[in-house]
Amino acid sequence: MPDDRVHAAGEIAALRAELDEHLHRYHVLDQPTISDAVYDQLYQRLVALEEQHPDLITADSPTQRVGAKPLDAFSEVTHRLPMLSLGNAFADDEIAAFDKRCRALLEDAVGDELLEYACEPKFDGLAISLTYVDGLFVQGATRGDGTTGEDVTQNLKTVRSIPLRVRTTARLLEVRGEVLMQRRDFELLNARQAAKDEKVFVNPRNAAAGSLRQLDPRVTAERPLSFFAYGLGLTEGFALPDTHSAAMDLLAQLRFPITTERAVVLGVTGLRNYFEHISKARSSLPFDIDGVVYKVNKLALQQQLGFVSRAPRFAIAHKFPAEEATTILEGIDVQVGRTGAITPVARLKPVFVGGTTVSNATLHNEDELRRKDLKIGDTVIVRRAGDVIPEVASPILSLRPVDAREFVMPARCPECDSAIMKLEGEAVARCTGGLYCPAQRKQALLHFAQRRALNIEGLGDKLVDQIVERGLVHSPADLYRLGVAALSSLERMAEKSAQNLLDGIAASKQTTLARFMFALGIRHVGEATARDLAKHFGNLDRLMDAPLDELLRVNDVGPVVAQSIRQFFDQPHNREVVEQLRACGVHWLETAGNAAVDAKGPFAGKTVVLTGTLSSMSRDDAKDRLEALGAKVSASVSKKTDFVVAGAESGSKLDKAQALGVAVLTEAEFLSYLNPTE
Ligand code: D41
């Protein structure tokens, strides 16, 4: 290397370390030691040196936080370890029940001792995941639905408190936390927006969400976002500590911002004291929180508790009580849902409550409306808790005007004029129009296309409104028959977006049986049930023809669900739609299903752990295949593991399997067990 380059390289390294240190002091420790002007000089010096030596620019240089090009769209990220949701509680007795349940499930491990909990504020922001490979920040993603989120790496790089490099020997380190906007930053941003005659945000959470969702990272860079880590995700080559609190200590050592308000407490009394402490501190915190989070502190106990559905059993959010305001109930409209359910909706004089302006609120059903004794013209109390949908709590009877009017359920559907009927014993009235009713058709299509169903990118509610109103689409199968010409004729639809939508529709053809079952919108068949059904049957024809008693054998399927599935497939019209969809090319991998699992097969009843990368299939596919053969697929290796399937670049799980003497299968061996005849 020429001398000048050697010097530059040295100075660049020193400047980066210096600048990183100041960013950390300013944004994480809140204790800056130099002025902004001095920081800026150092920064400009680095920029100049990097301009002279562009080959010395590295991805973790502080200059690389800004300047990335705008994107056309965010790409999807699959969370290798799902980002679970948190159960909610408002009342003290729910917290006592949480502690009791944990203790009961951990009886052997804790005996009579009080359980230790890690407590932290519940940031009212957006959950994200940060991935570091060999210490370098490589990917940042939103939580999305917990399974897939959006790749917002460029935007997260602009957040100064997120380190671009961490000093760790971990091959893989995933840090999870919340992005938010501090109250002061929010006020300043809104003042700036107003001065520019641009959109002002209703609350810090919306401002943070809007800023993170910018396709142009230069816009995000102008928005003062903060980050706080709340835990670890997937790690490889990293020795996990024993407790959540120690994991947080480690994160702080690695220079991630963590809350200063955390505590480790014992038992329900400890939880109650912490809640009181934070409730008092709430208004003086620099950011919005909507409650606190309690987590069983020992990670081994967390593992033992596991999770149900999408929420861990070892953690719970204790939310602050809802906020309330009064306003006028100006009218009651009705809305038609996907299954024809008619929901009365309160039209309210707009009121600011719990951080947003509310002008509508669902009234659920007629009975509820009568029970609450609501009349049009009433002054009502509107309640809103955190991100929960606002509700009309009650009328203030003393303020009722003499001309207050009773709500009358319309006899005919406002959308399609079909009769509205209420079945015996059911609380909801329904439009009888079925898929003739445009409102139901729209909802059914949106349900079909949503991310967790067939995931048709680009098919939002405005488009669905148009294609239904113009008679272009009657059933989901019609989506697969749309052409560019028909779509280009729609409002605000250029040929390019039409083509994008068609690409999205084409891409959705390859799906899974579980998604397909969920997409059909069978009453009582949610995502989890659809997955259980797919696992059990593995094959659509067998599922459609299954008698009630077979359906009842499926995990978590009771008589109501089984009836509903039977009724759905007994209608020739529904079978017709299914056949049309298959004819249009919608397909998935069919399997033998659990129902047919050979109880003597090599994986039946075994616990299997997948690690590393398989060349012949994705991890999810491997999991599906194993489960179809009766195996339980687990995330971590323990003495109870029967097999570890080790693909390329297997890490700590393989080491652990070998240490515990667990049988390890290579990919080739695994495939030979999967397909013994092939
Ligand atoms: O401050 C938060 N909003 C927060 C969210 C937190 N302090 N801890 C959290 N812990 C979890 C688990 C226990 C599931 C790892 C969370 C969240 N989850 C969470 N945020 C959004 C969905 C779930």
The number of C-alpha atoms within 13 Å of 375 and in the hemisphere containing its C-beta is: 13
205 lines ligand 1 (CB under 6 A): no
Ligand 1 centroid to Cα of residue 62, in Å, is 29
- Determine the pLDDT at residue 305: 94
**Could you write out the three-class secondary structure of 503-517?**
HHHHHCCECCHHHHH
- Ligand 1, atom 20, lies closest to the CA of 127
**364 pocket-lining for ligand 1 (C-beta < 6 Å):** no
- CB-based contacts of 206, cutoff 8 Å, min separation 6: 356
Position 447 confidence tier, pLDDT thresholds 50, 70, 90 = very high
Q: Supply the pLDDT for residue 107.
A: 86
Cβ atoms of 540 and 512 closer than 8 Å: no
What's the burial of 675, exposed, middle or buried (CB within 10 Å: 0-12/13-18/19+)? exposed
Whether 314 is in the pocket of ligand 1, judged by its Cβ within 6 Å, is no
Whole-number Å distance between alpha carbons of 348 and 328: 6
pLDDT at 639: 87
Q: CA–CA separation, 448 vs 454, rounded Å?
A: 6
Q: 294 CB less than 6 Å from ligand 1?
A: no
Chain position carrying tokens 């560019």: 484
Nearest CA, atom 11, ligand 1: 86
Q: Report pLDDT for 533.
A: 95
Nearest alpha carbon, ligand 1 atom 22: 85
| Centroid of ligand 1 to alpha carbon of 50 (angstroms) | 39
pLDDT tens digit string along 369-406?
998 999 999 999 998 765 567 889 889 999 999 999 99
- H/E run at residue 148: strand 148-150
Whether the CB of 609 sits within 6 Å of ligand 1 = no
pLDDT of residue 597: 58
Q: Where are the beta strands (DSSP E) in 18-152?
A: 76-78, 88-89, 116-123, 126-133, 136-142, 148-150
pLDDT digit string (tens) for 529-547?
A: 999 999 899 999 999 999 9
Query: How far does the centroid of ligand 1 lie from the alpha carbon of residue 84, in Å?
Result: 8
Q: List CB contacts of 37: < 8 A, sequence separation 6 or more.
A: none
Please give the single-letter amino acid code of residue 279: S
10 Å Cβ neighbour count for 251? Answer: 22
Question: Ligand 1, closest atom to CA 122?
Answer: 1
Q: Is the CB of 633 under 6 A from ligand 1?
A: no
Residue 593 has pLDDT above 90, yes or no: no
| Contact present, 91 and 141 (Cβ < 8 Å) | no
> For residue 677, how far is its CA from the centre of ligand 1 (angstroms)?
46
The CB of 231 under 6 Å from ligand 1? The reply is yes
Ligand 1: distance of its center to the CA of 86 in Å?
A: 6
Cβ neighbour number for residue 15 with a 10 Å cutoff: 20
The pLDDT score that the predictor gives to residue 339 is: 87
Q: What is the rounded distance in angstroms from the CA atom of residue 94 to the CA atom of residue 318?
A: 9
Q: What does the pLDDT read at residue 412? A: 95
The 8 Å CB, 24+ separation contacts for 188-191 are 188/224, 189/223, 189/224
pLDDT over threshold 80, residue 132 = yes
Give 244 Cα–ligand 1 centroid separation in angstroms: 12
Query: What's the whole-number average pLDDT of the chain?
Result: 91
Distance 317 CA to ligand 1 centre (A): 8
Q: Which pair of structure tokens corresponds to residue 465?
A: 């409104």
Check: CB of residue 379 under 8 Å from CB of residue 326.
yes
Q: Measured from the CB, is residue 178 less than 6 Å from ligand 1?
A: yes
3-state secondary structure of 644: strand
d(CA 467, CA 459): 10
Give the torsion through C-alpha atoms of 658, 661, 662, 666, to 10 deg. Answer: 50
Catalytic residue numbers read 122
Give me the pLDDT at residue 678, please.
Answer: 42
CA of 127 to the centre of ligand 1 (A): 7
pLDDT tens readout for residues 629-658: 778 888 888 888 999 999 888 888 888 888
**Position in ligand 1 atom list of the atom nearest CA 86:** 23
Tell which atom from ligand 1 comes closest to the C-alpha of 315. 13
Choose the residue to mutate in 212, 278, 293, 301 for probing ligand 1, maximizing ligand atoms within 8 Å of C-beta.
293
The strand pairing partners of 342, in sequence order, are 336, 429
Q: Which of 81, 83, 84, 86 maximizes ligand 1 atoms within 8 Å of its Cβ, making it the mutation to test the pocket?
A: 86
Task: Please check whether residue 314 is in contact with residue 295, taking contact to mean a CB–CB distance below 8 angstroms.
Answer: yes
pLDDT digits 0-9 by tens, 169-214: 999 999 999 999 999 999 999 999 989 988 888 789 999 999 999 9
Residue 579 has pLDDT above 90, yes or no: yes
Mutate to test the pocket of ligand 1, among 175, 226, 230 (most ligand atoms within 8 A of CB): 230
Among candidates 118, 142, 132, which has minimal Cα distance to 259? 118
Q: What is the largest CA-CA distance in the chain?
A: 91
How confident is the model at residue 598, as a pLDDT?
57
The minimum-distance atom of ligand 1 relative to the CA of 123 is 1
Q: What is the DSSP letter of 225?
A: -
Ligand 1 lined by 230 (C-beta under 6 Å):
yes
Question: Does the C-beta of 295 come closer than 6 Å to ligand 1?
Answer: yes
Residue with CA nearest ligand 1 atom 19: 85
Q: How many helices (H) and strands (E) does the chain have?
A: 26, 24
Which residues does residue 578 pair with via DSSP β-bridges, in sequence order?
A: none
- Whether 312 lines ligand 1, by a CB cut-off of 6 Å, is yes
What's the pLDDT at 383?
85
Q: What is the mean pLDDT of residues 515-533?
A: 93
Q: Is the CB of 315 under 6 A from ligand 1?
A: yes
Q: Is the CB of 122 under 6 A from ligand 1?
A: yes
Query: Which one, of 473, 437, 445, 477, lies nearest residue 461 by Cα?
Result: 445
Q: Which helix (H) or strand (E) holds 474?
A: none
